[in-house]
Structure 1
Amino acid sequence: MSKITIALEAAVATVIENMPKDGAARTNRQRVYVDRAFAQILKLIAPRIRHFVRQYGLTAHWEDAEQCCAIAVHRAIESYDPTKAQFTTFVNWQIRGELQSLRFRLMTDQRPSAKKVEATTVSLSALAATDGDEIAPEAMIEDEDAVARTEAAASDYLAEGAVSQLIDAYVDQLRKVGVEALRRRPRSGARDRGEGPRFKRADPAELEKLEARLSRDREIVARRVFDGATLDEVSLDTGATKECVRQIARQATRLLTGIAAEAPRFEIMADDARRAVPPVRPRRAGAAKVPLLPDPGALHNRLAHVEAIEAERAAYVTPVLPVAQLVLH
């Protein structure tokens, strides 16, 4: 073996000997020995590294290539087995692999597939200077709408979560009412089994039907109230009639409004609902009341007068209320 090979083997042996065993912490003495031996290894294979860097055409990226070669040497030392090969042969393949990977990352136009389409690698740092003004590469690829899209996506995500929790609270309330109604319903054979009113239990079959109905109602509320699906779409997908869908959505709107107003976690949604509904203005003191009967002094009512009809004479009218009859002159 040559002097360089012998020196490499000795330096690598020094590094391996001072590596911590079984995950133990490295001492300061071991760290000093490893650093000195590793620097000696890089000094001995420096000509080899320069040769490979030129061979792979990475002279324009010399610093990156040297760092990759140092990583290759470190990996070679960790996996080196003196009984299988010499370190000089083993480290050559490690350096070649790291430099090949670096060339593919930095010079994508050197690949055969890139040469077919005449692709060219362009450095952002080279394009940073425009008309004498230096522009950071990050500013050239900055997306101005990224913040707005991120905030909108986060808002939609939070809104979907709040809506889902609100619907869950609505379904839980319906389930509680439904289970209580099933417990009160008499079951066949309960008296024979000795089940008193204090030990009533809901029928499992009825509970399954209740859960199926609640699942259907949940889908109707989610799609009709919050997603704005049409009656035809919801009716076709859930199998319920349009009138049933309309009634479920109407009832759910009232219950959801009450739940949002009572639960503190839905306070924001309740405030939005209040702002969406226009407030009712109270009547001012002394405001004129609109009469129920027509004004006889109006131009279109001058040729008519109003007479009261007794309840006996109006058989088709409820006898509690008097009826007014419009008689034309």
Structure 2
Amino acid sequence: MEMVPHIHHGLQGCQPEHARQWQMTELATPQPHSTAPQILVSLRGLTVSFGSGPSQVQVLHGLDLDVHVGESLGMVGESGCGKSVTWLAALGLLGAQARVQGEFRLAGERFDGLSDKALSLIRGRRIAMIFQDPASALNPVHRIGQQLVEAVSLHKGLRGQAARAQAVRLLDQVHIPHAAQRFDAYPHELSGGMNQRIMIAMALAGEPDLLIADEPTTALDATIQAQILDLLSEVRRDQGMAMVLISHDLSVIAQECSRVMVMYAGRAAEIAATDNLFRTAGHPYTQGLLSCVPDVASPQKRLPAIPGQVPEAGRLPQGCSFGPRCAHSFLQCKERVPPLLPVAPDHQVACFLTAP
């Protein structure tokens, strides 16, 4: 198994979030599958814009994405590239100001254009989402047990003692110590790591086929981060569900995901099996992210940064959105948006440099 550096940075100009001891870690190996893995969720031509008329701003530009049954897919890119918006749009959680278009399928059945009532039968039961900040996602005036019972009642139809017993079992499943006693605690009485475990328990209440984990270790220290990631891997393996892991931390992606989508300015820049991406990244943006990896052999080496900044939504340059920051840009890059094309098995790149 190939070894890659333990990567950790914020992807904000490729500057590291904080210094720490770099280690060598095993690269996640794609799970064995047939030549035609079964598709669980398919998004086609996903576009998202906000506002109306002249002030309308488009933030996703015809995104195509498949999630296979049981796989762990990583989504990485700088803040604002559209990772979270992708799934909030698919699940109808962006609000009335959003204009969402595209064709979405779950196990072959379309779910785009459904009413909010119809989507509620998918949210939590088939596709669940863990949000970035448990402190804001949990209601501070209700006990955690009450909130968990509500999720159990909604998704499983349980009531009374049966719902309470199932809620306690979920707390045990996510390794909350003394689960029965913690049942009556308020969120502020628990640590950030404990609250994140509560969020995972709520997401598991409906026994979903797909779990969207949106920056699940934000604001947690390194030890707690590792525990939460181990927990996610454990429940995914035990329940056989698929997971989409949204993260700025490439070490997390390398360890937890079998496939990776790199996004930039509302488009997919590269999609590849994890080992292919880290070994033979094809897009200059992906290469720039990986060049920020600290070298354990040369700890004093200055880390490079990708020049420039991510363009504002609604002010994208003509042609390739990454063109103004790319050292390899040429005339065609300024005139056309490069399509996402296969360059190898399990590897697609949106760059004219790698186009066949």
TM-score, L = length of structure 2: 0.19
Higher gyration radius (CA): 1
Higher helix share: 1
Higher percent of residues as strand: 2
- What TM-score, normalized to structure 1? 0.20
